[in-house]
Chains A and B, each alone.
Chain A
Amino acid sequence: DAMVIQNPRYQVTQFGKPVTLSCSQTLNHNVMYWYQQKSSQAPKLLFHYYDKDFNNEADTPDNFQSRRPNTSFCFLDIRSPGLGDAAMYLCATSQGTGGNEKLFFGSGTQLSVL
């Protein structure tokens, strides 16, 4: 009964080769988030969508883009992955962005860059 689904669980790409990570949800939530979690570090918000409105964090590199074609799906595109982009990428959803909103997380995609 997974509600936030990320595929694949593990993704390997080559240095400089574009890669797309996918996330889908069955909760019909308005908000979808992408977090980057490097080894032994805190998850860091890259951006989020409220419906179709894209909200980029100020320090998110231009190399990272996102698409949300419909309510259920959200994609993370890394245009030219570097070795420093190897990380766990977490997708999450919530109904709204209020401070008390509960976030629902997927299991994450572990990205390796060779």
Chain B
Amino acid sequence: GNSVTQMEGPVTLSEEAFLTINCTYTATGYPSLFWYVQYPGEGLQLLLKATKADDKGSNKGFEATYRKETTSFHLEKGSVQVSDSAVYFCALRFVYGGSQGNLIFGKGTKLSVKP
């Protein structure tokens, strides 16, 4: 079936450290890939997306590249801030087919950034 696997958290980093959160997926078709972020007490927000292989999504200093050969969409940021503390969800969604419309999430990775 279709699924998303993220690295287990929590991840604790010092401010200005480099961040990587791994995400791999299993899909029977050609999904679009997303990273959503959930700040404390708020709903999920779209952070970035990529719709085809080799696309790079980027936003707020975060980047992720759609790697079809490794079925991965790892999230990276060169220098994290305390305000980046949140839960990050990797997700996929199909453009066509019977699963269209269903956003399939990973379990989420909690990031804590210390000053």
Residues of chain A having any CB pair with chain B under 8 Å: 4, 6, 31, 33, 40-45, 48, 50, 55, 57, 90, 92, 97-108
Contacts and interface: CB of A to CB of B under 8 A. Distances in A.
Contacts of A55: 101
B94 A90 contact: no
Contacts of B51: 99-100
B42 A107 contact: yes
Interface of B: 4, 31-32, 36, 41-46, 49, 51, 89, 93-96, 100-108
A53 to B, nearest CB: 11
A45 B107 contact: no
A44 B44 CA distance: 13
A42 B107 contact: yes
A31 B42 contact: no
A50 B108 CA distance: 27
A6 B36 CA distance: 19
Contact of B32 (A31, A33, A99): A99
B94 A4 contact: no
Contacts of B43: 4, 6, 90, 92, 104-108
B106 A97 contact: no
A79 to B, nearest CB: 24
A40 B100 contact: no
A111 to B, nearest CB: 16
Given A42-B107, A99-B32, A100-B32, A31 B41 contact: no
Contacts of A106: 43
B20 to A, nearest CB: 20
9 contacts: A41-B107, A43-B89, A50-B101, A90-B43, A90-B44, A97-B101, A99-B32, A103-B103, A105-B43
A97 B107 contact: no
B45 to A, nearest CB: 7
B29 to A, nearest CB: 10
Nearest to B105: A42
Given A42-B107, A55-B101, A100-B51, A105 B95 contact: no
